[in-house]
Amino acid sequence: MGRMSTGWNSEAISEGASKRPRRRGERGPFFGRSRVALRRLFGTSGVPDWKVNLVSSRSAEDDRHGRAVTELCLRLAEGLLSTGKGAADVVSTVVRVTQAYGVSTVNVEVTYTSIFITRLRGLGRDPVTATRAIRGRVSDYATLAGLEEIVERIEKENIDVATAAKEFDKVMGRPETYNKVVTVIASGVTVAGVAVIFNATAFIAIVSGLSGMLVDLVTRALGERKVPPMLVQSAGGAVPTLLCVLLVLGRNNGMTFLNGVYPSLIVVAAVVILLGGLSWVGAAEDALSGYYITASARVTEVVILTLGLLAGILAVLTVANGLGVWIEYDPPTAVQQNLVVRVIALAVLGVAFGVVTHAQPRMLVWFAVSPVVTWLTYATVTDQGVGPVTAGVAGGLVAGLISPVIGRLAKVPDLGVATVGILPLVPGMAVFNALFTLIAGTGNEQLILGATQLLAAALFGIGIAVGASTGMAISRGIMGRPFLVARSARVRQPTAD
């Protein structure tokens, strides 16, 4: 007796048989098409469509090949995670590589600090589990792009394991794309670009740039001395706040050229960059893809570092207030109104951020495009009378939608494109406003108001990150890369055809 397929477009076994009428309650072709489309967009890959023979070879050559593939996958996974890739993407990459090398009987687990790969060797044989710890994370999109290129070559060019391992060593061992002087200057340009977006004067933009360079030097020095990250972030928040206090002190002592400027913008611009550099998008991506342990760890890290930043700002403001230097909350009432200046500032911001994160020169043009598109989307939605939170989600959604497209066409890490895209939307001004309210408050009502404003800023930031992650999920699904992936190749008995 022949087999009949189970898809929505099934035909009768007999060639001449007519189509039977649909029974009551039976789902038609449209439902089947919709289900397939939704599964492709958001669904997991489910049971893989390759079969695993449990009667595997016991030869030493097979074991050596399996060990080599497992070691290569561990190193690739460590490199991807340490450069900011999400857990779901790392698991997907490992499964794709093992499948390409014919070692599909694996299970992959990723946490925030560890990677586990278990290789099954057939019935009656003990599985082999290998693990590796993740010791640190840094945004390095040149390295990330190099690792993604190795994976692509494994799948398309069928390079052997030894060649892939040599390519990995070459990518991980090459010098940084830009030297320290260039990255420090780029850090200053990034902060200055944010200040210009918020309608800062040329003087405040220059001082903001200097504060960004100083923050980079201070945080880099503290990091090299193994200072806890929370304290490093506190120092990063204290430096621009101290410069703001010095400007206010100078204005109070007769420096008339400081009249009419907004020193608080120095802090606002620095907060945008320091918060934007955290792994908001990665945390949201891991949460949406079902890696809750990793997502919880990332969220905890983001919260702790944010608290460190706020503590550094609050400490300087409190000391200044105690010494009689009152910091007025005096930001401009509107962002930069000149569209040309705003677009140029956004593009410069994107390029400078790309340099800071070691993006290759060919990637910088796309890092310039992303924040421009995102900000214009946010401004357009806001002009229609939509609230800022919804507009922020829309801006993040657009950043997420375009990042995989740019990533595929230009061979640029989509995570970097999405991250720089949402950077100008980070609520730095709202955070500073909330902190100022907390400092200036003398009663419970003011404290409650400040806490409420801080919570609103946090929700705004979460909305942006979720929007970006959702946009990436939709875009990847349309391009045939499901957002959710199976964590393992499920072992099953081969069936006779």
Q: Domain residues of the chain, as ranges?
A: 60-173, 180-479
Q: Write the pLDDT tens digit of every residue in 312-338.
A: 988 998 888 888 777 766 555 556 667
Q: Write the pLDDT tens digit of every residue in 353-412.
A: 999 999 999 999 999 999 999 999 998 998 888 888 888 899 999 999 999 999 888 888
Supply the pTM of this predicted model.
Answer: 0.79
Distance CA 132, CA 17 (A): 59
Q: Write the pLDDT tens digit of every residue in 438-485.
A: 776 666 777 888 888 888 888 888 888 889 989 988 988 887 654 444
Tokens (6 digits) for 35: 């289900």
The string of DSSP codes covering 166-211 is HHHHHHHHSPPSS-HHHHHHHHHHHHHHHHHHTT--HHHHHHHHHH
Count of residues in the chain:
497
Start-to-end CA span in the chain (Å): 13
Q: Which pLDDT does position 259 carry in this prediction?
A: 72
Residue 61, C-beta contacts closer than 8 angstroms, at least 6 positions apart: none
Q: Write the pLDDT tens digit of every residue in 195-236.
A: 898 888 888 899 999 999 999 999 999 988 989 999 999 999
Nearest Cα to Cα of residue 422 among 266, 298, 282: 282
- In order of 113, 286, 343, 470, the CA distances from 483 in angstroms are 22, 10, 32, 9
Q: Is 291 left (phi over 0), alpha (psi -120 to 50) or beta?
A: beta
